[in-house]
Amino acid sequence: MSDFTAVLDSLTRQRGVRGSLVVSAEDGIPVDSNLQFGQDGNRVAALAASLYRKARKSAQAAGLGGTGFMQLEAETGRLCVIGGDEIILVVVAERTANVGLIRVELLRAAESLA
């Protein structure tokens, strides 16, 4: 049990959430995760962190300032990411999941880790 277990548990308890990860922002390596069987945490962490870094840079390049919340819509689900310079939080959710609730929970989790 790590310092992040409670945060991950509260994220994964949300309806429609399939898994959640705490990821090292710079390395893209999972620090802790709560995933369902069949999900490859290393791959999700590496790619989500890369995507988030690029999204932040894109927003900065466009003069839009910092990036708070990032959401990727896929065919059968969503990837929600929030984070800072050191750590990012990733949620893998079903398409029917309530993104508003997930966003609130992610913001709360990010605040508790800050």
Partner 1 sequence: MIKATVEPWIEEPLRTFVTDAGVSLALLLHPNGQVLAQYGFSRAIDIMSACALAAAIHVSANELGRQLEGKPFSGMHHAGKERQVFLAEAQTKRGPYIFLTVFDEASSLGLVRMYFDEFRVNLAKASPPPPDAPEPMLSENFERELNRNLAALFGRA
Closest distance to partner 1 from the beta carbon of 28 (Å): 3
Q: In the set 2, 13, 29, 36, which binds partner 1 (CB under 8 A)?
A: 29
Nearer to partner 1, 2 or 42 (CB): 42
Q: How far is CA 33 from the centre of its chain?
A: 10
Rounded Cα–Cα distance for residues 19 and 78 (Å)? 11
Nearer to partner 1, 8 or 88 (CB): 88
Closest distance to partner 1 from the beta carbon of 87 (Å): 13
Rounded Cα–Cα distance for residues 32 and 90 (Å)? 11
By CB under 8 A, residue 15 contacts partner 1: no
**Residues 49 and 57: beta-carbon distance below 8 Å:** no
Nearer to partner 1, 44 or 82 (CB): 44
By CB under 8 A, residue 47 contacts partner 1: yes
DSSP 14-62: STTEEEEEEEETTTTEEEEEE--TT--HHHHHHHHHHHHHHHHHHHHHT
Per CB under 8 A, residues contacting partner 1 are 23-24, 26-29, 42-43, 45-47, 49-50, 53
